[in-house]
Structures are given as structure tokens and as C-alpha cells.
A and B are shown apart, each in its own frame.
Chain A
Amino acid sequence: MVLKVFFPSCCSSAESGVLIGRWISEQNSAVILAVVHFPFIPVQVKQYLRDVQRVTTVSVSVLGAWSNSKQEKEESLSEFLEDLGTIFAHEPWIQISKEGDSKFWNCSTLQKHSNNPEEEKVILVYYDQRKVMLSHLHPPLATAASPDHEADDASKLSAIFDTVAKSKVLFLTGRYDEGPIKLTHWQSDGIEASIIVELMKQASVPACMLLAFLLSLVSGVCRSRVLKFWPLSFLWSKLSTCEQLGHRLQHLQLISSNKKAQNQTQFMRKANIFVSLLIDVALGILLMSWLYRKNRISHLADTLIPVADHVAEELQDLLQWLMGAPAGLKMNRALDQVLGRFFLYHIHLWISYIHLMSPFIEMILWYVGLSACLGLTVALCILSDIIALLTFHIYCFYVYGARLYCLKIYGLSSLWRLFRGKKWNVLRQRVDSCSYDLDQLFIGTLLFTILLFLLPTTALYYLVFTLLRLLVVVVQGLIHLLVDLIDSLPLYSIILRLCRSYRLAAGVKFRVLEQQDGKPLRLLMQINPLSYGSVVQTYRLPTYSCYPKDSWTSLCKKLFLGELIYPWKHKGENQD
């Protein structure tokens, strides 16, 4: 069988020594982690390896010998290296030798107990140790779905990635350390660390504790009994701003918890939430500074009242048009006048209410605008709530129109059944035949005719107000979609994929390097990064997303029957 040797590219120029690493016998491959240089005492090397094995749970052992000679091949050195094979008994004993600056190395194996007389073929695979250690392999979603088979069909690559990742302890001793063992690996020239990262790690502990304390205060206040009385709790549940604030509070609690992240997923989630919050607050502060510069917010408040007035006037014109002969249709005069006057009175009430509030609007808006510093998402939610409050009269009209229409439809259907001599059996939930008296039939038919001829008027009012309501709902839905997007986008993962793409690995790719006859096959193993789509899909943050409750057919059916529609359902909300 073919022997695969994974050699770190950083050790290509190392001095002669022995190779240490892990031997994976099921795959007939050797993962080389470092080179131990001469002089060394074999007993100390074995002791060191035993210590490393205890700490990292990776079965590290001496795999072979490496000779890097500047001149031509030295016979004595090669014999010495073969003798080493007897000291560190390992099957098979790998010998790699490099002459001068030649790219093509000799790689041979010594098998003492093999029954296969012919020479094994060797494939030399170079890998970048630092990148493989830092990267996280993402299994394809298909295999992740069947965990019971994962154990048997364990990916070969994940074994290699695991080996390198778990051997972090091995990479802490450098070449210039005072110990008895001198190693060469990717960090042997000096441990690399970043001052900023270290400082942030030190500063994060007290910052987290402070944040956790503040959050416990805030959540204690929120949970107090005062805010749970009926009108207030109803208000909180209807305003989307409160939901968004609660959501952000949860996120903050997750970040400020002092439990360290156990695995990659948790760490990425924490980092994503942190970056998302940061960007959100930054954008919010930007928005706030833009709003408050040049006193734009008072301009906004000044234009709010005229806009509300304008909307109310437009509605009045619409109702006048409906009370006349809209689109050439002939309405029932009396019903038309009644409905029209009823809605006009409502609009009159609404306009007076707005005018009552007008002196306070500017102050309210000024203070509400300050809360944009809590984040762009909060500002968008406030906008959506303001739209909901301003169009409250449209919502009321829609409810009135819908209820009227619904009553009419039910009445019509029930009288239609009477007209045909049938009845709805409530006990059996089906239509049964029934014999009516003559006077019942007479009155029923009369009422049926009346309702039928009044249908177009009611239907028209219902249609107009439903369209207006749907418009408002669509606008609100778009805003919530945007909020959702900002909430759930894993920004840290995307930036990581952009800047350090080797950390998120979907797999590997091999490149065939120059060949020479008689020498082993040389391959370069590089990391194949995850695609942006899979990054977003894997690391999406969960949100209280609102999605359409009904499919298109059920929505149309509800519209036809006049049932009230609430198209956006929030996760966790009770059914209306």
C-alpha cells in the first residue's frame, strides 16, 4: 500500500534530526509535527513524548529520521540514522533525506516485520502547519446529519486536522529554549502573540463582570411586578421595540457570561453577537448624530403634523368619493351615507386628537430619537411603531369594514342555505336538509335579497380599507425584514472568511508539484475555504423572526370571507 507522509513546509530547511508525529495506521499515513535535533538523549525524548501524549491525548511518537545535508549524501550519517530506527522502534521507520538545495527528496521506509518484500510507494504531502492548526473543518451538511455513521466513516482529513490542532502544547517549546529537547516547527523561532489580543483578554474579565451586574439590574427592573399590569403588558407585547430590546438584552447576557466558549460554534456565536452589536450601535450613533445635527429632528416633528393632516384629508376625499358614485358603480344611497358619515366622524375625531398632541410631539420625538443610540435596529423598530400608531385609524376602519363584511357574508351563506331548504347542523358539523315553515321561508328570502343587494356597497368599503391596511402591513413587514437581516447576519464570520479564509475550511485541495523519476510524488495540501453562502447558513444568528403565518391560498380565503388578517406572526406569540 501507499504510504502518505504529511510534512510541514516550515521544517523543509530544518537541521538533521528525528521526526516526531502521529502514525495513523488505518490510513497508512504519518502526520509529522516537528523535528527533534541532535544531540539528544533518546530516553529524554521518549519521556517528553510521553508527557505530551498525556496532555494532548494525541499518540505522538518518533516516526523516522530526517537528514538535511549540504554536501553529497554521507554514508555514515545514513547508517547512523538507520541505527536510530532500532532505538525508537516504530513500524515503519521513515527516512527522508534532502541534499543541498534540491527540491526532490529521497524518502524510504524500513519495514522489519513486513511480509511484503517490494518497496512501498511514498507520497509526500506538504502542509502549512500554522494554517492547519488554526482552521476548523466544516463537514458537509449531509454527513453532519448522520452522526452514528460518523465514527466509522471518520473523515481522513479531520483526523489530520485534529492531530495538528490538539498538539498545541508541542508547539510551545521553541528552538532557543533551554530544555534538553530542541524542536523545529512553525513556532520554533519564537511564539507569536499579539499585544492587542492579550490586553483585550485581560480587560475583558472586569468588563464582563461589570456588564453582567448592570444587566442583572436592568432585567430585575423589567421583571418587576409594576410592569406586568394588564394595560402595560398588552402595550409591551404589541410594540416591536420592546421585543427588539429584549432580544438585544438576551444577546448582551450571552456575551457577558463568564463561561468560556466550549467549542468552535459557541465561540463563533459569541463573536458574531459581539460584532453585530458593535456595528448596530455604531450605525445607530451615526444615525443619531445625523438626525440631531442642523436640528433635523425638530424639522421632522414639524412636518409630522402636516403629513398626518394630509393623510386624514386624503381619507376624507376618498370617503366622499365612495359616498358618491365611485368608478361609476351605483351604490345603495342610504347605507352609503350611513357608512360614509360614520367613518368621516372617526376621521374628525382623529384629526382633533392629533391637533391636541401637536405641542408635545416635538419633545416626545426628541427624546425618542435619543434611543437610536441603542442601535440601528431599535431605531427601525421605533419607526415601524410610529407608522403603526399614525395609521391606527386605518387599522380601525379596516376592522370595522371587515367585521361588517364578515357578518354580511355569514348571513348570506346561512340564508342561501335556507333558500335551498338546508341547514347547518352544528352538532354534526355538516349541512343537513330541513323543512322550514312558510313564514320562515318568506322572511328568510326577503332578508337574503336585502343583504344581497346591499353587498356591493359593503364589499367596496371593505375592499378599499383592506387595500390600505395591506399597504401599511407591507411597509411594516419590509422594515421588520431589514431588522431581521441586521440581527441575524453573522458579520464576524463573514469578515473572518474575507481576511483569514483558512480558518473556515470546507475541505482541502491538492496541487501536484514538480516530479522526478524515482523520487516520491510531491503534493501541496492547501485549505479550501468555505463559500460565503455556507458561512452565512452555518453561523446565522437565531432571531425572533416574523414570517408569513398563512400561505397565499389561506390568505385569499380569509380575505374573501372577511376574517381579520395578521400576516406577520412572531415566533413565540400566541395564536390570535
Chain B
Amino acid sequence: SLSAATSAVWLAAYGLFVLSQNSMVLSAAIFITLIGLIIYLHFVKIDQESLLVIGSLGIQVTSSYASGKESTTFIEMSRVKDVVINEAIHMQKVIYYLCILLRDPGDPQGVSEVVPLFQSSKPRLDCLIEVYKSCQEILEQRKTAPQSS
């Protein structure tokens, strides 16, 4: 975790300082901590994850990091086969996660890729069921809509 890493770096720096009496060690420790914090906020810590489903266009997954960076993926509706809740057995418990199944271009019944959603926020089953129901409503519409000739 962040506090453990920071404390470790600072204790090591203080130990080195006591041994060598060189204050550069402390400045280096400050520098390293700052850089590490910036890297952590920009690349690791995800603040918000959102899912946008537009029935005729596709599904868009956005993760926004603590530093404001946003990373988006857009999957076209023609590539989406279904949105399901998957179960996984991890250590001693069963965890549920929502995922998008992508169509396999070669095999109409097959699944080429599974895209897991909400990897950082990891909502619980009741929350996932709400999202699942809304997604299924929209996905149903595209199946019942008549194909244009």
C-alpha cells in the first residue's frame, strides 16, 4: 500500500543518513517519494469507472485516474455478443464480476474475448445485478429491432 511504501522509503533513508551523515540522502528520499506518488496517482490509482451503453453504437468503458487522466475503450455493438455476470473462485470465496463477451468473427456461436469491467471498484453482486439488468434491456432492443434491408 502507499503508506507502507512511503514509510519504508523514509525509514531506509533515515537509516542511511544516520550512517553516512549526508543530507543528500534525505533530499533524495523526498524526491523519490514525490516521483513515486505522482506515478502512483497517474498510472495506478483509479478514482472512477463508468460504463456507457448506446444501443445502436456500442459500449464505452472509461476509467479515470486520480491525476485526472482518463482512459477509454469503445467496443462497437457488432462485436458485442452479450454482457454477463461471471463467477470466479478466488482462494476461499466466490467473487462476481461483470464482463462483456465479444463475438468471434469465425465462429458465430463462439466467444473470442472476455472483457472484464469494473476491475478496480469491484462492486458487489447487488450493484452488478442492477447494471446487468439495464444492459440487458438495451441489448434486447437491438435484437428485436428490425434489420434494415
**Closest CB-CB distance, A542 to chain B, in whole Å?**
29
**Closest CB-CB distance, A124 to chain B, in whole Å?**
12
What are the residues of chain A within 8 A of B31 when measuring CB–CB? none
Q: How far apart are the CA atoms of A507 and B52 in the complex, in Å?
A: 15
* 23 A-B contact pairs sorted by A residue (CB < 8 Å): A1-B145, A1-B146, A1-B148, A4-B56, A28-B56, A28-B148, A123-B54, A142-B112, A142-B113, A146-B105, A149-B106, A153-B79, A153-B105, A155-B76, A507-B74, A509-B60, A509-B62, A509-B72, A510-B52, A510-B57, A512-B52, A523-B57, A528-B74
Is the CB of B123 closer than 8 A to any CB of chain A? no
Q: Which residues in chain A, 152-198, are within 8 Å of chain B measured between CB atoms?
A: 152-153, 155-157
Q: Which residues in chain B, 113-149, are within 8 Å of chain A measured between CB atoms?
A: 113, 145-148
Kindly identify which residue among A116, A123, A142, A157 contacts B56, using a CB–CB cutoff of 8 Å: A123
Q: How far apart are the CA atoms of A25 and B147 in the complex, in Å?
A: 10
Is the CB of B22 closer than 8 A to any CB of chain A? no
Is the CB of B20 closer than 8 A to any CB of chain A? no
In chain B, what residue has the closest Cβ to A521?
Answer: B54
Cβ contact within 8 Å between A510 and B56 = no
Cβ contact within 8 Å between B105 and A143 = yes
Cβ contact within 8 Å between A153 and B74 = no
In chain A, what residue has the closest Cβ to B75?
Answer: A507
Is the CB of B1 closer than 8 A to any CB of chain A? no
Q: How far apart are the CA atoms of A28 and B72 in the complex, in Å?
A: 25
With A123-B56, A510-B57, A510-B74 already in contact, the answer to whether A149 and B105 are too (CB < 8 A) is yes
Is the CB of A447 closer than 8 A to any CB of chain B? no
In chain B, what residue has the closest Cβ to A123?
Answer: B56
Q: Which residues in chain B, 89-114, are within 8 Å of chain A measured between CB atoms?
A: 105-106, 112-113
**Closest CB-CB distance, B61 to chain A, in whole Å?**
10
Q: How far apart are the CA atoms of A25 and B148 in the complex, in Å?
A: 7
Is the CB of B3 closer than 8 A to any CB of chain A? no
Cβ contact within 8 Å between B74 and A509 = yes
- Which B residues have a C-beta under 8 Å from some C-beta of A? 52, 54-57, 60, 62, 72-74, 76, 78-79, 105-106, 112-113, 145-148
What are the residues of chain A within 8 A of B113 when measuring CB–CB? 142
**Closest CB-CB distance, B125 to chain A, in whole Å?**
27
What are the residues of chain B within 8 A of A142 when measuring CB–CB? 112-113
What are the residues of chain B within 8 A of A146 when measuring CB–CB? 105-106
Q: How far apart are the CA atoms of A125 and B62 in the complex, in Å?
A: 19
Q: How far apart are the CA atoms of A2 and B138 in the complex, in Å?
A: 12
Interface size class of A (residues with CB under 8 A): 20 to 34
A-B contact count (CB 8 A): 53
**Closest CB-CB distance, A522 to chain B, in whole Å?**
12
Per-residue contact bits, chain A 117-159, to B (CB 8 Å; 1 contact, 0 not): 0000001010000000000000000110010010011011100
Scoring B54, B55, B145 by chain A CB atoms within 10 A of each residue's CB, the highest score goes to B54
What are the residues of chain A within 8 A of B56 when measuring CB–CB? 1-2, 4, 28, 123
Kindly identify which residue among B57, B62, B79, B145 contacts A123, using a CB–CB cutoff of 8 Å: B57
**Closest CB-CB distance, B73 to chain A, in whole Å?**
7
**Closest CB-CB distance, A142 to chain B, in whole Å?**
7
- Which A residues have a C-beta under 8 Å from some C-beta of B? 1-2, 4, 25-26, 28, 116, 123, 125, 142-143, 146, 149, 152-153, 155-157, 507-510, 512, 521, 523, 528
Kindly identify which residue among B52, B112, B148 contacts A26, using a CB–CB cutoff of 8 Å: B148
**Closest CB-CB distance, A517 to chain B, in whole Å?**
18
Q: How far apart are the CA atoms of A508 and B58 in the complex, in Å?
A: 11
Q: How far apart are the CA atoms of A154 and B37 in the complex, in Å?
A: 43
Scoring A2, A28, A143 by chain B CB atoms within 10 A of each residue's CB, the highest score goes to A2
**Closest CB-CB distance, B84 to chain A, in whole Å?**
20
Cβ contact within 8 Å between B76 and A157 = yes
What are the residues of chain A within 8 A of B57 when measuring CB–CB? 4, 123, 125, 510, 523
Cβ contact within 8 Å between B76 and A156 = yes
**Closest CB-CB distance, B22 to chain A, in whole Å?**
30
Scoring B52, B55, B74, B145 by chain A CB atoms within 10 A of each residue's CB, the highest score goes to B74
Q: How far apart are the CA atoms of A146 and B105 in the complex, in Å?
A: 9
Q: How far apart are the CA atoms of A28 and B146 in the complex, in Å?
A: 11
What are the residues of chain A within 8 A of B147 when measuring CB–CB? 1
Scoring A149, A156, A512, A521 by chain B CB atoms within 10 A of each residue's CB, the highest score goes to A156
**Closest CB-CB distance, A126 to chain B, in whole Å?**
13
Q: How far apart are the CA atoms of A176 and B60 in the complex, in Å?
A: 41
**Closest CB-CB distance, A376 to chain B, in whole Å?**
28
Q: How far apart are the CA atoms of A507 and B74 in the complex, in Å?
A: 7
Cβ contact within 8 Å between B112 and A510 = no
Q: How far apart are the CA atoms of A177 and B55 in the complex, in Å?
A: 42
Cβ contact within 8 Å between A507 and B73 = yes
With A4-B57, A123-B56 already in contact, the answer to whether A528 and B72 are too (CB < 8 A) is yes
Q: How far apart are the CA atoms of A26 and B77 in the complex, in Å?
A: 13
What are the residues of chain A within 8 A of B55 when measuring CB–CB? 2
Q: How far apart are the CA atoms of A153 and B78 in the complex, in Å?
A: 8
**Closest CB-CB distance, B106 to chain A, in whole Å?**
6
Scoring B56, B72, B106 by chain A CB atoms within 10 A of each residue's CB, the highest score goes to B56
In chain A, what residue has the closest Cβ to B76?
Answer: A156
Q: How far apart are the CA atoms of A144 and B145 in the complex, in Å?
A: 30
**Closest CB-CB distance, A540 to chain B, in whole Å?**
23
**Closest CB-CB distance, A152 to chain B, in whole Å?**
8
**Closest CB-CB distance, A144 to chain B, in whole Å?**
12
Cβ contact within 8 Å between A510 and B60 = yes
**Closest CB-CB distance, A101 to chain B, in whole Å?**
27
**CB-based closest 9 A-B pairs:** A149-B105, A2-B56, A509-B72, A1-B145, A507-B74, A153-B105, A28-B148, A528-B72, A156-B76
What are the residues of chain B within 8 A of A143 when measuring CB–CB? 105
In chain A, what residue has the closest Cβ to B55?
Answer: A2
Q: How far apart are the CA atoms of A509 and B60 in the complex, in Å?
A: 7
Q: How far apart are the CA atoms of A243 and B148 in the complex, in Å?
A: 60
In chain B, what residue has the closest Cβ to A506?
Answer: B73
What are the residues of chain A within 8 A of B148 when measuring CB–CB? 1, 25-26, 28
What are the residues of chain B within 8 A of A155 when measuring CB–CB? 76
Q: How far apart are the CA atoms of A152 and B78 in the complex, in Å?
A: 11
Cβ contact within 8 Å between A508 and B74 = yes
What are the residues of chain A within 8 A of B79 when measuring CB–CB? 153
**Closest CB-CB distance, A507 to chain B, in whole Å?**
5
In chain B, what residue has the closest Cβ to A156?
Answer: B76
What are the residues of chain B within 8 A of A123 when measuring CB–CB? 54, 56-57
In chain B, what residue has the closest Cβ to A507?
Answer: B74
Q: How far apart are the CA atoms of A259 and B91 in the complex, in Å?
A: 61
What are the residues of chain A within 8 A of B52 when measuring CB–CB? 510, 512
What are the residues of chain A within 8 A of B62 when measuring CB–CB? 509
Scoring A125, A149, A509, A512 by chain B CB atoms within 10 A of each residue's CB, the highest score goes to A509
Q: How far apart are the CA atoms of A155 and B79 in the complex, in Å?
A: 9
